[in-house]
Amino acid sequence: MEILEIRPEHGGGNTLARFDAQLSPDIRMFGLKLVKTPRGHRVYPPHTSTNNVATFAPAFAEKLARAALAALTGEADDRRQSA
């Protein structure tokens, strides 16, 4: 998994950033949202007006959130994380 681009959100609220990720050699997702919640950091997929366009297994979502948070804070020089 690789974070391709991350864009901090500066409007306040719980959304920390929006980002694009290469989930596997065959799959890229754009417009993911990194949110700080009382239960930790969460990643939400993009959505249409009524439906999410994807879902993630909890363990994968946690890895994705950690990778995005590391990219946001500059802790990951290499933004690739093992999936």
Q: Is residue 81 part of a domain?
A: no
Tell me how many domains the chain contains. Answer: 1
Q: Is residue 25 part of a domain?
A: yes
Is 14 within 8 Å of 78 (Cβ atoms)?
Answer: no
Q: What pLDDT digit, counting tens, does each position of 38-51 carry?
A: 999 999 999 888 88
Q: Is residue 37 part of a domain?
A: yes
pLDDT at 78 over 50: no
Residue 73 burial by CB count (10 A; 0-12/13-18/19+): exposed, middle or buried?
Answer: exposed
Domain encompassing residue 37 = 2-73
Give the pLDDT band of residue 76 (cuts 50, 70, 90): low
Domain with 64 in it: what CATH number?
Answer: 3.30.1120
8-state DSSP, 22: E
